């Protein structure tokens, strides 16, 4: 177990370093387990911290998680290709109702899109601004499921995606 944890810690530190993430050495963290397992922890600040506190729990640190949660990785950027899709990303309830100011929400969403789905962003993608976020947040969606369907159909019509399945996620609760 110790050997496994050590190599996992090493793997994390390599990938973190590659991603340009600042890390904390195990000896700098006063915790018995961090020190014995030689865990390398990232520093999580700014937009990354806001993502972590508000989104990571369900959407995962890699931008994908369980079948019942929409995948962000290599996918969410597709929504920015239409005005409806761009608006939808802010109006999703857990985004629009997050405990973040308009400024921080805009910054966090811009970070999230770059971090997890840079390749899929609209060619002339303009980062969200605080005022745009404020405007979109003032308008509550009544049915998120219905709106998402419309947005996905719009992306199909605009030729952004070839197949609605590209953006599918499971609305059925797991039977596990």
Partner 1 sequence: MKGTLPATAVACAMAWGGSAFAAQSLEEMKDLPPAAKLMGEQHTIAKLPAPHPKRVFVLEPLFPAIVASKIWVIEGDKQELGAVMSAGYCANMALAPDQSEIYVFDTYWDKGFRGRRSDFITTYDSQDLTIKSDTDLPKGRFLVVPKKQNADASPDGKWLFSYNLAPATTVSVIDAKTKKYAGEVEIAGCGLIFPGRGNRFSSVCSDGTLATAQWDDKFKSTVTRQGPFFDSENDPVFEHAGFDRRQGKVHFITYDGNVIPVDIAQDKPAIGTKWSLLGAEDAKEEWRPGGWQLAAVHRATQRLFVLMHKGPKWTHKQAGEEVWVFDLNSRKRVQRIELKEHATTIAVSQDADPYLFTQTEKPSLITYNVQDGKEVGEMSFGITPFLMFVGDE
Partner 2 sequence: MFRALEVVDKLFERLSRRTAQQVSRRNFLASFGAALVGASVLPVLPVARKAQAAEDPGMAWAKRVGAQTTDPKACNYWRYCSSDGYLCSCCGGGPATCPPGSSPSPTSWVGSCLNPDDGKLYLIAYRDCCGKDACPQCNCLGTAGEMPAYRPQLNNDIIWCFGGSSMIYHCSSAAIVGQV
Choice between 93 and 157, CB closer to partner 2: 93
Contact 84, 154 (CB under 8 A): yes
**Binding map of partner 2 across residues 30-69, x = CB under 8 A, - = no contact:** xxxxx----x-xxxxx---x--xxxxxxx-xx---xxxxx
Distance separating alpha carbons of residues 80 and 137, to the nearest angstrom = 17
Q: In the numeric block, which tokens belong to residue 8?
A: 């996992």
Distance separating alpha carbons of residues 26 and 88, to the nearest angstrom = 41
**Binding map of partner 1 across residues 24-63, x = CB under 8 A, - = no contact:** ----------------------------------x-----
Choice between 11 and 164, CB closer to partner 2: 11
Out of 83, 143, 162, 165, name the contact with partner 1 by CB under 8 A: 143
Distance separating alpha carbons of residues 172 and 152, to the nearest angstrom = 18
Distance separating alpha carbons of residues 160 and 76, to the nearest angstrom = 12
By CB under 8 A, name the binding residues for partner 1.
58, 68-69, 93-94, 96-97, 99, 140-145, 171-176
């Amino acid at each position: 177990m110790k050997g496994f944890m050590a190599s996992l810690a090493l793997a994390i530190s390599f990938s973190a370093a590659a991603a340009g993430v600042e890390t904390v050495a195990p000896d700098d963290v006063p915790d018995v387990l961090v020190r014995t397992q030689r865990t390398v922890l990232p520093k999580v600040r700014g937009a990354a911290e806001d993502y972590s506190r508000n989104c990571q729990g369900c959407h995962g640190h890699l931008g994908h998680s369980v079948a019942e949660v929409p995948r962000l990785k290599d996918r969410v950027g597709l929504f920015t290709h239409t005005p409806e899709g761009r608006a939808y990303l802010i109006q999703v309830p857990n985004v629009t109702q997050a405990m973040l100011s308009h400024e921080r929400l805009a910054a966090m969403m811009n970070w999230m899109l770059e971090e997890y789905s840079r390749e899929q962003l609209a060619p002339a993608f303009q980062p969200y601004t605080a005022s745009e976020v404020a405007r979109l947040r003032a308008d509550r969606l009544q049915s998120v499921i219905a709106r998402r369907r419309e947005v996905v159909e719009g992306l199909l019509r605009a030729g952004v995606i070839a197949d609605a399945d590209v953006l599918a996620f499971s609305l059925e609760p797991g039977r596990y």
